[in-house]
Amino acid sequence: MAQYAPTLNPPKTLIPKLPNPNPSFSSISTFRTPKPKSKNFSTISMSVTAGQNQQQHQKPPSLDVLINSARKEEVIGAIKNSSSHCLSETNLHLTVPGLKSKTRGKVLNETSLWWFDKTQHITSNAVVLAPDENVTIAKKCSVFPVEFVVRGFVTGSTDTSLWTVYNNGVRNYCGNALPDGLAKSQKLPANILTPTTKAADHDVPVTPDEIVECGLMTQAEYDERVALEHGLILVDTKYEFGKGKDGSILLIDEVHTPDSSRYWIAHTYEERFKNGLEPENVDKEFLRLWFKDHCNPYEDEVLPDAPEELVRELSWRYIFLYETITKSEFKLPSTEEPIHDRISRNVARALSSLT
């Protein structure tokens, strides 16, 4: 993996709104948030193209490949063989002095790094170095207690999802006026921003006015944000921001991973929506629905363990999405060296180079 230098982020520049030659695929773009007093849809500009050369040589992702393919069998086999070598936490602070953070999973880490690299010309981020495929070293930030959720479609199954609240009769959500007559999975007239506070138990929807009035962000901090979109159909996603020591606002945490985003297969969306069918998805919605059927994720103190086959399916979907977006093959984990030893060595070396 290419390492990121400490001087990763150039001065922030915004890119103009591009034409929309193909409504099925999303590429990098910017959005402007609504002014706090606005009660209409936010003005989010969304450019949707996948690059003409790429479209000519790449077949669109399909549910057949997701469900039944030689690549899936290879990945699932590797997951079975490597699961005993994986760690829930690396406890690197015990082997690398001064380190107090945890690591991310390999596919989530590499997906975010790919997006951080592709979008650094749009908004500065906190990434400093990627010394290991499982690890990102980032600038320490004061995190704003707000998640900026961008939605382009009426969907979802949780209590705070747009379809749930809309189906319950809500027509003004987080400061956005919603028209009557929308159906589940329908594309919104315009993308909307639905911020939530980062509450202890679960996120709580909030309006732009309330973000400022409650002191979660100043008006100037709120107005400075920009964002980006790319992928199959990027249905909705969230962004988190923090303030660096120099006062700059940085994109943090993760970008466009299956943990923070919902993806649909683009070329089958229109036909399935017209026929009243659920879109073909490449995210963790199936696992959300399993937990919803077996517990109350928001209220139960102890959640049941998901079946092993669902966990493996989730891993495969994350890898499938990574390979579809990046157009590169995901390097499956090696079991030749204990993961803890490898990460400890790489992180210690990286930290010594930064001092």
The answer as to whether 14 is a domain residue is no
Higher pLDDT, 331 or 15: 331
Give me the pLDDT at residue 134, please.
87
**Full domain range(s) for residue 128:** 98-332
The answer as to whether 41 is a domain residue is no
153 close to 185: Cβ distance less than 8 angstroms: yes
Q: Which helix (H) or strand (E) holds 241?
A: strand 233-243
Q: Which residues of 312-325 are buried (b: 16+ CB within 10 A; e: fewer)?
A: bbbbbbbbbbbbbb
Higher pLDDT, 170 or 217: 170
Higher pLDDT, 210 or 161: 161
20, pLDDT greater than 50:
no
Give me the pLDDT at residue 92, please.
55
153, pLDDT greater than 90:
yes
Residue-wise pLDDT for 195-207, tens only, equals: 988 765 567 788 8
Question: What's the rounded Cα separation, in Å, for the pair 184 and 154?
Answer: 5
CATH number for the domain harbouring residue 298: 3.30.470.20
Give me the pLDDT at residue 275, please.
96
pTM over 0.85: no
Cα dihedral 318, 256, 251, 152 sign: negative
Mean pLDDT, rounded, for 108-130: 90
The answer as to whether 212 is a domain residue is yes
Give me the pLDDT at residue 51, please.
36
Give me the pLDDT at residue 95, please.
56
Q: Which tokens in the block code for residue 194?
A: 């639905």
Give me the pLDDT at residue 201, please.
58
The answer as to whether 87 is a domain residue is no
The answer as to whether 305 is a domain residue is yes
Residue-wise pLDDT for 251-267, tens only, equals: 999 988 988 899 998 88
Q: Which residues of 21-55 are buried (b: 16+ CB within 10 A; e: fewer)?
A: eeebbbbbbbbbbbebeeeebbebbbbbbbeeeee
The answer as to whether 26 is a domain residue is no
Question: What's the rounded Cα separation, in Å, for the pair 16 and 46?
Answer: 10
Q: What is the 3-state secondary structure (H, E, C) of 165-225?
A: HHHCCCCEECCEECCCCCCCCCEEEEEEECCEECCCCCCEECCHHHHHHCCCCCHHHHHCC
Q: Which tokens in the block code for residue 27?
A: 């590429």
Cβ atoms within 10 Å, residue 348: 17
Cα dihedral 28, 20, 237, 209 sign: positive
Question: What's the rounded Cα separation, in Å, for the pair 309 and 79?
Answer: 11
Give me the pLDDT at residue 83, please.
52
Mean pLDDT over the full length of the chain: 74
Higher pLDDT, 92 or 107: 107
The answer as to whether 309 is a domain residue is yes
Is 281 in a helix, a strand, or coil? strand
Question: What's the rounded Cα separation, in Å, for the pair 164 and 158?
Answer: 7
Give me the pLDDT at residue 310, please.
87
132 close to 347: Cβ distance less than 8 angstroms: yes
Q: How confident is the model at residue 182 (pLDDT cuts 50, 70, 90)?
A: very high
Give me the pLDDT at residue 165, please.
94
Count of helix runs (H) and strand runs (E) in the chain:
11, 12
Q: How confident is the model at residue 69 (pLDDT cuts 50, 70, 90)?
A: confident
**How many domains are there within the chain?**
1
Mean pLDDT, rounded, for 278-285: 87
The answer as to whether 55 is a domain residue is no
